[in-house]
Amino acid sequence: MGNIPETGRTRKITGRLLVLQVLVLSLLGTLGGRLWYLQIRNGASYEQQASSNHIRTVVVPAVRGEILDANGVPLATNTTKLVVSVSRTSLIGQKDGGVAVLTRLGQVLGMSAQQVEDKVRLCDAKTPAPCWNGSPYQPIPVTQTATTQQAMQIMERQEDFPGVTATPAAVRTYPAPDKANAAQILGYLSPVTQDEINAATDSGGKSSLSPSDQVGRAGLEFQYDKYLRGANGTSNLEVDNLGRVIGTAGGDAAVPGDSVVTSLDARIQAISEQQLQQAMVTLRKTYDPVTHENFKADSGAVVVMNVHTGAIIAMASAPTYDPNIWSGGISAKDYAALNSTSSDYPMLNRAIQGQSAPGSTFKVVSTTGALNAGYGFDSTFPCTSSMTIGGRVFKNFEGENFGAINLSKALEVSCDTVFYNIAYQQWMKDGGTKPKNPKDWLYKTAHQFGLGALTGVDLPGEVKGRVPDRQWHVDYYDAMKDIWCQQAKTETDAYLKAIATEDCADFATLRAGDEVNYAIGQGDTLVTPIQMARIYSALANGGTLYQPELAKAIVSPGGKDVQAVKPVVQGHLPDTPKMINYIDQATANVITSGTAAWKFGGWPQDKIQLHAKTGTAEVVGKQTTSWFDTYTKDYAIVMTISQGGTGSGGSGPAVRNIYNALYGIQADNSIDPGKAIHPPAQNQLPTFHADGTVTSPVDYTVQLPSLASTPQQQAPVLPALDIAALAPERRADGWQA
Amino acid sequence: MAGLTSPSWSAPRYKPRRDGMARLLERDSPFRRMDWILVLAALALSGIGSLLVWSATRSRVEINHGDPQYFLVRHLVNLAIGIGLCTGVVLLGHHRLRTAVPFIYGLSILGVLAVLSPLGSTVNGAHSWIVLGGGFSMQPSEFCKISIILICATILSARVDAGEMQRPNTRSILQALGLAAVPIGIVLMMPDLGSTMVMVVIILGLLLASGASTRWLGGLALVGAIGATAVVKLHILKQYQIARFAAFADPTLDPAGVGYNTAQARIAIGSGGLLGKGLFHGTQTTGQFVPEQQTDFVFTVAGEELGFVGGMVIIGLLGVILWRACRIAREATDLYSTVLAAGVVTWFAFQGFENIGMTLGIMPVAGIPLPFVSYGGSSMFAIWIGIGLLQSVKIQRSMAG
């Protein structure tokens, strides 16, 4: 304005006021600059801090895929159970930290307040189980087995139970359709460990596993875990400064896991399990004249395989257990029981993890070896009742003298001395104790039959058995000689001392007795039932070794995406078609006139040609292992029972009953095709619908044949065995894990 | 107007003095001569403030008694009362107010003393409240700022306006400082460091505008600096107290206390970006991450929800108010009016700068409200009385001219 003030206004004051104005405006300018710096220049970084400030991401668990049988019947599925969960963030907000609510909840659920509190506490290094390993923002399950009434009590009186919810949630169950328990095949789930979470963490620091996840620990649940698990989703919760949830901010939906369609047929699986169990129960009531007590029949296994694909239709292992004990967390008591000696380790799948000497079922390998070594189809060998080699007497199992017979007859009547003879001749030919470029036909053939190696079945923990060839003798001697040589000095038992002394001296060399025992599937040979099923399937299909497979297809939810699992050819038997024919004939004769004939009276061999080989394997200090390996043009069934006597006696009726079910053979041995259970073909899959339901490719109304009507013959008294006449067996480890 | 143009009436020679409405609308009427830009800016700022207070308290059930509009309604009522007080001051006129200054001063001393008595209560660590009952409470220190401005302006200008001297002499200055020191000392004992800081700065502004010798200004600044250094060097303040003071610059010094506020305020504002997340859509505001968000930290709501643009509008409106107020001070015809207006300018400017600056992390955290915007009756009343004083200066200058 510049007007001259009337009083008191000097230029000085005007100047001072300008200074004030400049000061004031520069202060405001400073604020503007700082605001620009925070919001525009560094805005992005603060935005990130803001979202980590108020967003808490919780895991939305993916629904695990199902494991289905070939007809789409679920073997492992998820059922809806009422899960009562507690929200920690809500408890924190309560005046007493939620003590009153947890106490009330305990009363409703029949638990003590302490038990409830333990379940909802967070895990840390010092907290013993039970504790919650997941995100504190996630509702913590207190029980998965609430009754409807308990759930109603909680949900109707929400004012008494703030932060407590009762919601239906998916819990893994094993419904055992037709009582097909298949525990060892299916496996089980248990909570993930921190190491596994770390291992599943990608470079970006995100783990595909979250601490509250369950992962497959055995069987198919383990093998196909990656597919079954799906992908967890996330839910972004908005929280306030006290961690209370005030809203949601989107997230990713969980992707349900894929289902695995197996080649198992729940009906055959059920029958196989039931027959195995029945055979063992029967044996336990049967007197063993060798050991002068009843058979112990402690464990056993059966494999039913499709000979044209290697697909496993049924696989049973005994003893077994109920896999549902794993659902919702196994109790300490149940877990201890599963792993105790008294329960005989029911988690072992003895079809792939049990190994024992194959006994005479091995003779199809020896026969092929002999034919390849140059013996003719009609070459004859004396089937004497015993044979002396190197001053030791090797007895024929049956003790019977059949005179001069060919290989076919030797297979049929399971004449040991014929194979002793061949083995001894081969051993001599290969140079005896001073081998020179040994051909080792018998050992080579075993390897060609896939023994001593994993079959590659799609289950974890398979063992590979053992072919006790020259290399193994060298390796094993190196490992054991100190023990043997020590034993040779200190052993008091004369028999064991003699053997120890002998082994200490020359185990590294393949001795005549070793190869002779080996030729009849004794000695140090070890095989698994799955290996034998693959061999007998190959004999049935003309010589192709297929990889044993349980999975048929992996199907995405709703059936949109189907990954078929194709049969895998792993190799071919070293047999010409003529040789296979030759063996086929001999094994068919086993049913009609050979070692299994006494259990297969009336079998409609003209309609369904059945082939079999029996085996009775010696185990030192135990009763004999029963082996029964069979095949038709469709199926191969191998059954073995530890301490179960002879092959045909122990396992024959059970195997026959499984065939009866597969082919619809009635009690009077007539065939009713309408009652046959045909597992669906390899390319036949159940139909998956968008709503998650599955329909079967076959008519599933077929009644299971009445098992009681099949003849249950009393196992006969077995011929006596001269154990001392057999080679040292102490290293045949019996059932091994 | 109607009276003027009515043809059925013979035009009176002199306008009827009692026709209030017409008087107000007269070209030279005090009503027309008011600084309406200033009033509109103040109203706009108060309006924005009511929205921000609403947004900050909508979901705070523990303080809003379950009514999302609880604070909005009260903020608007406070505003209305404030505007009423403003009108009263304008009608009374600041010159007439001068005669009542000793009375006002005495009342404010009693007010701050009452806070120290059992009548006072502590809110957020500051023992600066008097609870009046019925849900009402007041902060006498807010009114104390006005009484300091009035008494200092009166004393500093008295002999100059009387024409006795060119500028206030040492005696008047010491008198003014002495009288101001009493309420400041009481407020410091509450302890209400924020208000003390504002009052000290107001005194510097008053001295600056009164034309007091530069030596006085420099001397006071020097004393302040020496005092601050002594406080630190002589360990009068404990290490944690210094850390708490410095936490505005480095939140890690006091992460659970002031540092938390500072860090959360910066996150809230910084995440707003250019245009903000939209009113009522601020995640940090809804999540109540910033404490005291409706009062001292109300600017964080603007920063988060209205963004850089909204924040600049608030700073800009404050700028308009201060620019107009500076103009009023410059155009005032006597030193009393000048010093009075300059005091109000300093008060608004420093309080605004300190408040916004602390939310932005460039000023230490102190519990003082943002003029017009923060929730709080005492503050709102005092601020609008300040506006009334400015308008009064404006009108009377024009009347005199």
- Asked, for residue A568, whether it belongs to a domain, the answer is yes
Which residue in B161, B288, B326 is closest to A20 by CB distance? B326
- Asked, for residue A27, whether it belongs to a domain, the answer is no
CA distance B273 to A459: 56
Asked if residue A130 has a cis previous peptide bond (ω within 30° of 0), the answer is: yes
Contact across the interface for A20 and B323, Cβ inside 8 Å: no
Q: With an 8 Å Cβ cutoff, is A22 touching chain B?
A: no
* Residue A420 shares a structural domain with residue A515: yes
For chain A positions 83-122, those within 8 Å of chain B (CB to CB) are none
Which residue in B283, B304, B349 is closest to A238 by CB distance? B283
Which residue in B286, B318, B360 is closest to A38 by CB distance? B360
Which chain A residue lies closest to B400 (C-alpha atoms)? A6
* Residue A465 shares a structural domain with residue A547: yes
CA distance A124 to A141: 18
**Which residues of chain A neighbour B58 with C-beta distances below 8 Å?**
none
**Which residues of chain A neighbour B322 with C-beta distances below 8 Å?**
21, 24-25, 28
* Residue A574 shares a structural domain with residue A615: yes
Tally of CA atoms within 13 A in the half-sphere of B341 that contains its CB: 31
pLDDT value at residue B134: 59
- Asked, for residue A407, whether it belongs to a domain, the answer is yes
Query: For residue B309, what are the domain limits?
Result: 35-400
- Asked, for residue B24, whether it belongs to a domain, the answer is no
Interface test with B, best of A30, A34, A38 (most B CBs within 10 A): A38
Which residue in B59, B307, B342 is closest to A17 by CB distance? B342
For chain A positions 230-259, those within 8 Å of chain B (CB to CB) are 238-242, 246-247
CA distance A426 to A518: 12
**Which residues of chain B neighbour A31 with C-beta distances below 8 Å?**
315, 353, 356-357, 360
Which residue in B211, B271, B273 is closest to A10 by CB distance? B211
pLDDT value at residue A699: 58
Q: Whole-model pTM? A: 0.70
* Residue A250 shares a structural domain with residue A297: no
- DSSP-derived 3-state class of residue A412: helix
Q: What is the domain-level CATH number for residue A78?
A: 3.90.1310.10
Residue numbers in chain A where pLDDT is lower than 70: 1-9, 243, 328, 398-399, 697-737
**Which residues of chain B neighbour A25 with C-beta distances below 8 Å?**
319, 322-323
Query: For residue A719, what are the domain limits?
Result: 279-313+348-469+510-678+692-737
- The total number of structural domains that make up chain A: 2
Contact across the interface for A13 and B209, Cβ inside 8 Å: yes
* Residue A650 shares a structural domain with residue A721: yes
Q: With an 8 Å Cβ cutoff, is B87 touching chain A?
A: no
* Of B205, B338, B317, nearest in space to A20 by CA: B205
pLDDT value at residue A359: 92
- Asked, for residue B28, whether it belongs to a domain, the answer is no
Q: With an 8 Å Cβ cutoff, is A393 touching chain B?
A: no
- Asked, for residue A274, whether it belongs to a domain, the answer is no
Which chain A residue lies closest to B202 (C-alpha atoms)? A20
Q: What is the pLDDT along chain B (401 residues), one digit of tens a residue?
A: 444 444 444 544 555 555 666 666 676 777 788 899 999 999 999 999 999 999 999 888 778 888 889 999 999 999 999 999 999 999 999 999 999 999 999 999 999 998 888 777 777 666 677 776 656 678 899 999 999 999 999 999 998 888 888 889 899 999 999 999 999 999 888 878 889 889 999 999 999 999 888 899 899 889 888 888 887 777 767 777 777 778 887 887 777 778 888 889 999 999 999 999 999 998 888 888 888 888 899 999 999 999 999 999 999 999 999 999 999 999 988 999 999 999 999 999 999 999 999 999 999 888 889 999 999 889 999 999 999 999 999 988 555 43
- Asked, for residue B336, whether it belongs to a domain, the answer is yes
The pairing of strands A67-68 and A259-262 is parallel
**Which residues of chain A neighbour B397 with C-beta distances below 8 Å?**
none
Give the model confidence (pLDDT) of A24-76 as tens digits: 999 999 999 999 999 999 989 998 888 887 887 777 888 899 999 998 899 99
Which chain B residue lies closest to A37 (C-alpha atoms)? B270
* Of A353, A274, A355, A356, nearest in space to A314 by CA: A274
Which residue in A23, A40, A54 is closest to B289 by CB distance? A54
Number of residues that make up chain B: 401
Contact across the interface for B166 and A10, Cβ inside 8 Å: yes
Determine phi and psi for B108, rounding to 5 degrees: -70, -35
Which residue in A10, A14, A239 is closest to B330 by CB distance? A14
* Residue A121 shares a structural domain with residue A215: yes
Q: With an 8 Å Cβ cutoff, is B135 touching chain A?
A: no
- DSSP-derived 3-state class of residue B260: helix
Please, what is the angle between helix A11-36 and helix B335-360, to 10°? 20
* Residue A209 shares a structural domain with residue A284: no
**Which residues of chain A neighbour B363 with C-beta distances below 8 Å?**
none
For chain B positions 310-339, those within 8 Å of chain A (CB to CB) are 311-312, 315, 318-319, 322-323, 326, 329-331, 333-335, 338
- Asked, for residue A479, whether it belongs to a domain, the answer is no
Please, what is the angle between helix B101-116 and helix B170-189, to 10°? 30
Give the model confidence (pLDDT) of A292-326 as tens digits: 999 999 999 999 999 999 999 999 999 999 998 88
- Asked, for residue B334, whether it belongs to a domain, the answer is yes
Interface test with A, best of B271, B304, B305, B317 (most A CBs within 10 A): B271
* Residue A200 shares a structural domain with residue A225: yes
Which chain A residue lies closest to B323 (C-alpha atoms)? A21
**One-letter amino acid identity for A407?**
L
CA angle A614-A620-A625, nearest 5°? 25
- Asked, for residue A8, whether it belongs to a domain, the answer is no
Q: What is the domain-level CATH number for residue A725?
A: 3.40.710.10
Q: With an 8 Å Cβ cutoff, is A5 touching chain B?
A: yes
Interface test with B, best of A1, A10, A20 (most B CBs within 10 A): A20
**One-letter amino acid identity for A31?**
L
- The total number of structural domains that make up chain B: 1
Tell me if A676 sits within 8 A of A666, measured CB to CB.
no
- Asked, for residue B363, whether it belongs to a domain, the answer is yes
CA angle A62-A65-A70, nearest 5°? 175
Tell me how close the Cα of A38 comes to any Cα of chain B, in angstroms: 5
- DSSP assignment of A499-562 equals HHHHHHHHTTS--HHHHHHHHTT-TT-BB-HHHHHHHHHHHHHTSEEEPPB-EEEEE-GGG--E
* Residue A623 shares a structural domain with residue A724: yes
| DSSP 8-class letter at A466 | B
ipTM of the complex: 0.90
* Residue A181 shares a structural domain with residue A286: no
* Residue A287 shares a structural domain with residue A258: no
Contact across the interface for B287 and A13, Cβ inside 8 Å: no
- Asked, for residue A251, whether it belongs to a domain, the answer is yes
With tokens 């979250």, the residue in question is A210
With tokens 């020679």, the residue in question is B13
Interface test with B, best of A19, A28, A47 (most B CBs within 10 A): A28
Contact across the interface for B267 and A8, Cβ inside 8 Å: no
pLDDT value at residue A605: 93
Tell me how close the Cα of A692 comes to any Cα of chain B, in angstroms: 39
Name every residue whose Cβ is closer than 8 Å to that of residue A61 and which is 6 or more positions away in sequence.
A170, A210, A212, A213, A232, A254
CA distance A261 to A680: 12
* Of B392, B314, B299, B295, nearest in space to B44 by CA: B314
* Residue A635 shares a structural domain with residue A525: yes
- Asked, for residue A19, whether it belongs to a domain, the answer is no
- DSSP assignment of B192-240 equals -HHHHHHHHHHHHHHHHHHT--HHHHHHHHHHHHHHHHHHHHTT-S-HH
Tell me if A187 sits within 8 A of A118, measured CB to CB.
no
For chain A positions 512-571, those within 8 Å of chain B (CB to CB) are none
Which residue in B329, B352, B400 is closest to A17 by CB distance? B329
Domain end point (choices A230, A262, A294): A262
Contact across the interface for B353 and A31, Cβ inside 8 Å: yes
**Which residues of chain B neighbour A12 with C-beta distances below 8 Å?**
167, 211
Which residue in B209, B266, B356 is closest to A16 by CB distance? B209
Tell me how close the Cα of A207 comes to any Cα of chain B, in angstroms: 27
Which chain A residue lies closest to B156 (C-alpha atoms)? A8
